Structure 1
């Protein structure tokens, strides 16, 4: 058989077109050093070759795996979002329930407070009414003991406008016994007005007297009733002295005494009041000046 010479081989290799490289992978071994290269004049791996299909398969599988991981992560995130939204909804519902419970508790507390206040007001009102009714059964006792005319003088004179008339000067003293019959309260007392009058004409007045009287106690009140240079204008003819002597004077007068008592049973909340007006008939005698006039049975009490 005719053997080709080296020059022939060279010429054939130079003239023949370059064939593409290919490799075969063993099914049982994936190592790169076990790969067999295609026919090459030199069998050298130094020549250039394309990327292997296995590399593409690995990239595709990796991409599919990463895509599946991304999908799984996306699904997990979605479920987490759903779970979080569900938890938020549950939290909102729990908050709504808690708010409703708190609102109901507040309404119940408000109801109890209102009931307590109303009950307290009703009970306190009833208690105050009972105390007031009990205190009204203990009115004060007032006794006008005596009246003393100490000085009486009627003389001619002139009033402030220069009109000539008789002028009256009168000094007298009255003694009053006041008794507080209350067993559980004290009273503030005011004695006023105190006056002597001839029908509707006032002849003498007394000052206002105030004091406090403790429970189950009594006191004697002595006050003056007087007038000084009071013009009469002829309104009291009985006071005109005969022959300049006052011994012959005898004039019936009215003595009026007003007494107001205020009890403090429960501080300033329960304050029963007692009013007493005393009217006495008394006659002034010029011949009995300085002598006490007994008025124990000569007075009428009006509440």
Structure 2
């Protein structure tokens, strides 16, 4: 037996059997987070807070969306950091590569400079050693006495003594045997000495002499009124007996520039010649082979 359905039953069943209304929620972005906070603080009500949609469902959906956003953000940040680190690695590799290239270049330059310096030093040493035997050769030829006078008088303090005045000149030949370089020739004062007393002096003018050449030089020696003091009597006695013993003494310096002014060679020859001069005889005195010593 079928029971008639009343209008009140239909009215009571219809709401319960009908499906609930569907609401769509847009995930909050980072920019709208502040607005959401404001809305929640001011008790704003959204359709999701209706009695038919529980508050617990809203919290679950919000946490799910937030976790999805944070997961995407972490993946994006990880990808960005990987790209930045990779580019930084490339930059560091380029920097270290350029730095290594510069270091290798400077090392090669220093090595080449060192090799060149050693080769140049060896070359200069060989030239210097090869130039050592080439000393300037000096040969004193003669001495001419222009006049020699022995007198008596007083010195500046009034002490009576004998005086000697002499004027003479000596000639010599200087030979440069070097094949590859010229020499600069100079001398110490050329002295005429009697009993360790210099009675006349002269100077050889400095000059340049080319390689493998000979040069004739003449030096004038002059002594005016040289006081003899205690040696005056012995000098007068020697002159009366035929001649006064003198000694000609000087040094010759020769300097050669082999490689500019970097490599030089220098030699010194000490010359000593013995001779006898008479005031009565002013002939030219020729030096024998054994009359002079060359050191």
Bin of the TM-score, shorter chain as denominator length: 0.7 to 0.9
Question: In 1, Cα distance between the equivalents of 2:175 and 2:152?
Answer: 44
The equivalent of 1:48 in structure 2 is: none
Correspondence 1:230 to 2:223: no
In structure 1, which of residues 281, 285, 300 is the aligned counterpart of residue 278 of structure 2? 285
The equivalent of 1:300 in structure 2 is: 293
Question: In 1, Cα distance between the equivalents of 2:110 and 2:237?
Answer: 77
In structure 2, which of residues 145, 152, 156 is the aligned counterpart of residue 149 of structure 1? 145
Question: In 1, Cα distance between the equivalents of 2:178 and 2:27?
Answer: 108
Q: 1:71 to 1:162 in 2, by over 3 A?
A: same
Gaps of 5+ in 1: 1-18, 28-52
Q: What secondary structure sits across from 2:264 in the alignment?
A: coil
Question: What per-residue deviation string (whole Å, max 9, x for no partner) do you get for residues 150-200 of structure 1?
Answer: 111111111122211111111010111112111111111112221111232
Displacement of 1:217 after TM fit? 2.1
In structure 2, which of residues 248, 264, 275 is the aligned counterpart of residue 271 of structure 1? 264
Correspondence 1:165 to 2:161: yes
In the alignment, is the contact (CA less than 8 A) between 2:192 and 2:201 conserved in 1? yes
In the alignment, is the contact (CA less than 8 A) between 2:166 and 2:222 conserved in 1? yes
In the alignment, is the contact (CA less than 8 A) between 1:166 and 1:232 conserved in 2? yes
Q: TM-score, normalised by structure 1?
A: 0.72
Question: In 1, Cα distance between the equivalents of 2:65 and 2:204?
Answer: 108
Q: 1:276 to 1:64 in 2, by over 3 A?
A: closer
**Greater CA deviation, 139-148 or 75-84?**
75-84
In structure 2, which of residues 173, 180, 195 is the aligned counterpart of residue 177 of structure 1? 173
Q: 1:219 to 1:116 in 2, by over 3 A?
A: same
In structure 2, which of residues 63, 78, 83 is the aligned counterpart of residue 82 of structure 1? 78
Q: 1:64 to 1:104 in 2, by over 3 A?
A: closer
In the alignment, is the contact (CA less than 8 A) between 2:162 and 2:232 conserved in 1? no
Aligned-residue CA RMSD (Å): 3.2
Question: In 2, Cα distance between the equivalents of 1:123 and 1:167?
Answer: 63
| Counterpart mapping for 1:92-131 below 5 A | 92-131=88-127
The equivalent of 1:194 in structure 2 is: 190
Correspondence 1:59 to 2:24: yes
Question: In 2, Cα distance between the equivalents of 1:299 and 1:64?
Answer: 121
Displacement of 1:76 after TM fit? 4.8
The equivalent of 2:248 in structure 1 is: 255
Q: 1:81 to 1:207 in 2, by over 3 A?
A: same
In the alignment, is the contact (CA less than 8 A) between 2:163 and 2:232 conserved in 1? no
Q: What secondary structure sits across from 1:220 in the alignment?
A: strand
Displacement of 1:283 after TM fit? 0.7
Question: In 2, Cα distance between the equivalents of 1:76 and 1:97?
Answer: 31
In the alignment, is the contact (CA less than 8 A) between 1:154 and 1:241 conserved in 2? no
**Greater CA deviation, 81-90 or 136-145?**
81-90
Question: In 1, Cα distance between the equivalents of 2:234 and 2:152?
Answer: 15
Displacement of 1:279 after TM fit? 0.8
